[in-house]
Amino acid sequence: MALKRNIESIVVNGASMFLPSVSVDCVIFGFHDNEMKVLLLQMKHTDEYGLPGGFVLKDEALDAAATRVLQERTGLTDIFLQQFATFGEPKRSDKKFHLKAMKKEGITIDKNNWLLQRFITVGYYALVDFSKVIPKIDELSIGCSWFHLQNVPTLMMDHNLILNKALETMQQQINHQPIGYNLLPQKFTMPELQKLYEAILNKKLDRRNFQRKILVYGILKKLKEVKQGVAHKAPFLYSFDIKKYNQALKNGYTGGW
Amino acid sequence: MALKRNIESIVVNGASMFLPSVSVDCVIFGFHDNEMKVLLLQMKHTDEYGLPGGFVLKDEALDAAATRVLQERTGLTDIFLQQFATFGEPKRSDKKFHLKAMKKEGITIDKNNWLLQRFITVGYYALVDFSKVIPKIDELSIGCSWFHLQNVPTLMMDHNLILNKALETMQQQINHQPIGYNLLPQKFTMPELQKLYEAILNKKLDRRNFQRKILVYGILKKLKEVKQGVAHKAPFLYSFDIKKYNQALKNGYTGGW
């Protein structure tokens, strides 16, 4: 009943709480088992999958709304978050989803309710430390879990388009900005870093070329330790030189993979 | 009087015509006299300058709204237009501008009017052929003209931020995508193309390096003609190989200037 009251309150009071016509959707990427994964919700009443999203409070910045959604779904504060595109096709909004969900919740919703109007959505992508995330469902979902990028189901509304655009943006950025600080553990091997780049670019890279190019950027510190628990030829561990990493993030560099 | 009726109609009927909370703003770049220029409006009642912008019709795609604004201000159809960022700080909206303008127009506006609410704005940038543009004012401006990028005045609201972000986006894109098709005449010399790159990047480039790198991309056709009206050592003319240019635009390349 508490849940029903929550949803009812959004339906009834949403118009006075939220900015009309505008939502945010978050593409949350994590790296695990040498695979890029994305966090998806399974919707309660339609069994469809979708991206975590939400509305913008009347006096809340867009970026703050996206941060709030991320925090609610992952438990994480202080994460790398970037706006990448806004989606504004008139037919992208899906009245039917809300009508069906409210009917099943036993909540009356007027056809002029704010929730049933057209929304544009601002897409954000986040890179998070997979191991630190505790996925949490929202009011209208029954599941919140990670999917391999190669294994993403058909998503509700235009969410596949939004996810693909986020991925495309990341693939372009990796050519002139470093990536990985938020995705890898503090210490990692060169092969682990290469796997991350390969997972994002969705292609194999030559081991020696990769090592040469990534070292030229000067964003890595080679540690004196080697990886533990590896029998033969244990690889050296690296960490990011965070000062140089942030400089490269700000200034960009000439890369290309 | 016709103009007053126009504005009055937007104030009165806007809420039923337009998507609430959402606007578009356009950063329109042209290249002339070896300088990058941007098209700005001078506002009628405040003498402030600003970017051309507008609202989104209830059933109009975001991109279509931006195209419409561009067409209204430049007379051009079929132009290169790209969404680059959405601006959503709660304090970015400027009630005062509209209140002042309406007062001076002699139009009554209620404090709850849709026009005075918070707006997020979706930024688009356009690259246009300077020589083909016939700048046209809108209802609330008295001037629409080109400004050198080095000479942009303080703009209303967050429009300087929007302009700078557009420029930054273009400076990043030029590293992995060709640019110029929409900015240069059909036939141009290598020095003219270099001047365009220098104007966008706001730095001098080495002549021989520039020529070597730009030729590697394979997007240029060297013509048999030389530039007319040049007394000594007339430079060869080039044009873009539009098929290869579009391929490069789609696939990107590894560049860096």
Q: For testing the chain A interface, which of B57, B58, B86, B124 should be mutated: the one with the most A CBs within 10 Å?
A: B86
The position carrying tokens 């110029």 is B180
Question: Are residue A76 and residue A152 in the same domain, yes or no?
Answer: yes
Give domain status of residue A38, yes or no.
yes
d(CA B170, CA A243): 26
Q: Are residues B35 and B75 in the same domain?
A: yes
Sequence-distant (≥ 6) Cβ neighbours of residue B135 within 8 angstroms: B39, B73, B74, B144, B145, B146
Whether residues A198 and A71 share a domain: the answer is no
Residue A147 scores a pLDDT above 90: yes
pLDDT of residue A167: 95
- Look at residue A142 and tell me whether its pLDDT is greater than 80: yes
Are B252 and A175 inside 8 Å of each other by CB?
yes
H or E segment to which residue B219 belongs: none
Residues A214 and A126 in one domain: no
Of A150, A165, A180, the position where a domain reaches its end is: A165
Q: pLDDT value at position B95?
A: 86
Condensed to tens digits (0 to 9), the pLDDT of residues B20-76 reads 999 999 999 999 998 999 999 999 888 899 999 999 999 999 999 999 999 999 998
Chain length of chain A: 257
Mutate to test the interface with A, among B18, B21, B60, B216 (most CBs of A within 10 A): B21
| Letter string b/e over residues A41-62, b meaning 16 or more CB atoms within 10 A of that residue's CB | bbbbbbebbbbbbbbbeeebbb
Rounded percentage of chain A residues whose pLDDT exceeds 70: 97
Residues of A in contact with B63 (CB under 8 A): 88
* SS3 call for B192: helix
Judge if A77 and A108 occupy the same domain.
yes
Q: Say how far apart CA B10 and CA B102 lie, in whole Å.
A: 11
Express each pLDDT in A202-237 by its tens digit. Answer: 999 999 999 999 998 899 999 998 888 777 788 899
The residue behind tokens 């091997």 is: A189
Tell me which residue of A152, A221, A153 sits closest to A193, measured CA to CA: A221
- The residue-averaged pLDDT of B214-227 equals 90
**Candidates B60, B85, B86; nearest CB to A90:** B60
Residues B27 and B131 placed together within one structural domain of the fold: yes
Contact A86 B89 (CB under 8 A): no
Residue at B256 is within a domain: no
Instruction: Look at B254 and A252 and tell me if their CB atoms are within 8 Å.
Output: no
Residue B248 and residue B242: Cα distance in Å, rounded? Answer: 10
Q: Do B61 and A88 touch (CB under 8 A)?
A: yes
Residue A256 confidence (pLDDT) above 80: no
Say if A54 falls within a structural domain.
yes
- Per-residue pLDDT, averaged over B233-257, amounts to 84
The CATH code of the domain that includes B238 is 1.10.10.10
Note whether A254 contacts B255, CB cutoff 8 Å: yes
Q: Are residues A95 and A201 in the same domain?
A: no
Q: Residue B67 and residue B169: Cα distance in Å, rounded? A: 19
Domain count, chain A: 2
Contacts 24+ apart (CB under 8 A), B211-220: B213/B255, B213/B257, B214/B190, B217/B178, B217/B248, B217/B253, B217/B255, B218/B244, B218/B248, B219/B178, B219/B244, B219/B245, B219/B248, B220/B193
A183 located within any domain = no
Query: In this predicted structure, what is the pLDDT of residue B251?
Result: 75
Q: Which of A56-70, A95-109, B172-186 is modeled with the greatest confidence?
A: A56-70
Q: What are the tens digits of pLDDT across the range B72-130?
A: 999 988 788 999 999 999 999 888 888 988 999 899 999 999 999 999 999 999 999 89
Indicate whether B118 and B143 sit together in one domain: yes
How far B257 CA sits from the closest chain A CA (Å)? 8
Give the list of residues 6+ apart from residue A82 with CB closer than 8 angstroms, or none.
A124, A125, A126, A169
Examine the pLDDT at B4 and tell me if it is beyond 70. Answer: yes
Examine the domain organization and report whether B210 and B153 are in the same domain: no
Instruction: Search chain A and give the residue with CA nearest B251.
Output: A172
Segments forming the whole domain that contains residue A157: 2-165
| Listed residues A165, A197, A220: the one ending a domain | A165
Q: How far apart are CA B124 and CA B68, in angstroms?
A: 12
Interface of B with A (CB under 8 A): 19-22, 56, 58-63, 65, 83, 85-90, 118, 120, 122, 172, 175-176, 252-256
Query: What pLDDT is attached to residue B254?
Result: 65
Task: Output the domain CATH number for residue A41.
Answer: 3.90.79.10
Q: What is the pLDDT of residue B21?
A: 96
Distance CA(A204)–CA(A220), nearest Å, equals: 21
User: What is the 3-class SS of A104-155, one letter each residue?
Assistant: HHCCCCCCCCHHHCCCEEEEEEEEECHHHCCCCCCCCEEEEEEEEHHHCCCE
Residues of A in contact with B172 (CB under 8 A): 176, 252
CA distance A17 to A55: 9
A31 & A129 share domain: yes
The pLDDT assigned to B233 comes to 80
Distance from the Cα of B120 to chain A's closest Cα (Å) equals: 8
Radius of gyration of chain B (CA): 21
A86 touches A123 (CB < 8 A): yes
A110 shares a domain with A34: yes
pLDDT of residue A84: 97
The answer as to whether B183 is a domain residue is no
Residue B243 has pLDDT above 90, yes or no: yes
Look at residue B178 and tell me if it is in a domain.
no
The answer to whether residue A257 is domain-embedded is: no
Stretch (H or E) spanning A97? helix A95-105
The interface predicted TM-score of the complex, written ipTM, equals 0.89
Q: What per-residue confidence (pLDDT) applies to B256?
A: 64
pLDDT above 80 (res B147): yes
Based on the domain organization, do B151 and B240 belong to the same domain?
Answer: no
3 state DSSP class of B243: helix
End-of-domain residue from the set A133, A165, A197: A165
pLDDT range class, residue A255, cuts 50, 70, 90: low
Q: Can you give the pLDDT at residue B41?
A: 95
Determine the Cα–Cα distance for residues A111 and A134; give it in Å rounded to an integer.
36
User: Chain B contacts of A254, Cβ < 8 Å?
Assistant: 175, 254-256
Q: What is the pLDDT of residue A152?
A: 97
Which of B93, B95, B175, B203 should we substitute to test contact with A (largest number of A Cβ atoms within 10 Å)? Answer: B175
Separation CA B72–CA B6 (nearest Å): 15
User: pLDDT grade, residue B241 (50/70/90)?
Assistant: very high
To the nearest whole Å, the CA of A121 is away from the closest chain B CA by: 10
Q: What percent of chain B has pLDDT over 70?
A: 98
Question: Contact at 8 Å (CB) between B221 and B236?
Answer: no
Note whether residue A43 is domain-resident. yes
Partners of B24 in the β-ladder: B54, B122
